[in-house]
Amino acid sequence: MREIADTGAEPLLWPSEDLAPLLNKIPNVLVSAGPGPEGDPVLLALADQFAAAAPSLRWLGYLSTTGVYGDHSGDWVDESTPLTPSTRRGAARVQAETAWGAIPDLPLHIFRLAGIYGPGRGPFAKVRSGNARRIIKPGQVFSRVHVEDIALALELSLKSPQPGGVYNLCDDDPAPPQDVIAYAAELLGLPLPPEEGFENAEMSPMARSFYAESKRVRNDHAKAALGWQPIYPGYRSGLAALLASDG
């Protein structure tokens, strides 16, 4: 909170502070809160206010997930792929996207994010601790995106709004999760973490649910429409940069 305040921004804690009066004063809004059991928390609290402010807004970004596409057995998906989520989280995101899209005159921009990684959110800590495992599920593949590339896409969209736009944000190199762990160990100069079959692996229900879907996500539309080029086009360059920033 102090770091935000030092930039000249005024931090407000929601929902303890009423944000509704701000909607008629600010041109751009980014919604990053995920849906809960009852639906999108922002719309549950402020749907009427957003509906009233919609004509005066310049840009509204909603951070969704590529989980809305469901499982495609490793095949490619893009923004035209039907939304067939196979998890409750994915279904909740589809409902949230639909609810935001139902507000008339709202300059909505939807960003469907692949698996996010970045500073403090990568495999190095587990590899260093010796707790990392290479979970093997044949045919499993994920797409990923570095947090800096998400920020870059949002900045480009803010500069040239295209209401109604939907963008997949991911890198160019979908890969099996065990390959990412193996490369992190290689960068650290540490032994390769052991392999463990998915069926017998001890995993939390949340972690196991991620393996319910396998797909490769295309980012061509974001590149063409936004002029976006990922700073980190693959996990190798992204992980190397993370390690370098860690010293």
* Residue written as token pair 């940069």: 241
pLDDT (tens place) for every residue of the chain, 247 residues total = 334 445 566 777 777 778 888 888 899 999 999 999 999 999 999 999 999 999 999 999 999 999 999 999 999 999 999 999 999 999 999 999 999 999 999 999 999 999 999 998 889 999 999 999 999 999 999 999 999 999 999 999 999 999 999 999 999 999 999 999 999 999 999 999 999 999 999 988 888 888 999 999 999 999 999 999 999 999 999 999 999 998 6
pLDDT at 7: 54
Domain count, the chain: 1
8 Å CB contact between 54 and 101: no
pLDDT at 186: 97
Burial 67-87 (b: 16+ CB within 10 A, else e): bbbbbbeeeebebebebebeb
The CATH number for 55's domain is 3.40.50.720
| Rounded Cα distance, 40 and 96, in Å | 6
pLDDT at 150: 98
Burial 20-42 (b: 16+ CB within 10 A, else e): eeebeeeeebebeeebeeeebbb
DSSP for 95-149, written as a single string = HHHHHHHTSTT--EEEEEE-EEEBTTBSSHHHHHHT---EEE-TT--B-EEEHHH
**Token pair of 109 as six digits:** 């921009």
Expressed as residue numbers, the domain containing 139 is: 2-245
pLDDT at 9: 65
Secondary structure of 20-70 as H, E, C letters: HHHHHCCCEEEECCCCECCECHHHHHHHHHHHHHHHHCCEEEEEEEHHHHC
The model carries a pTM of 0.93
Q: Nearest-CA neighbor of 110 among 39, 225, 31?
A: 31
Q: CA angle, corner 119, sides to 150 and 148, nearest 5? A: 20
| Rounded Cα distance, 70 and 72, in Å | 7
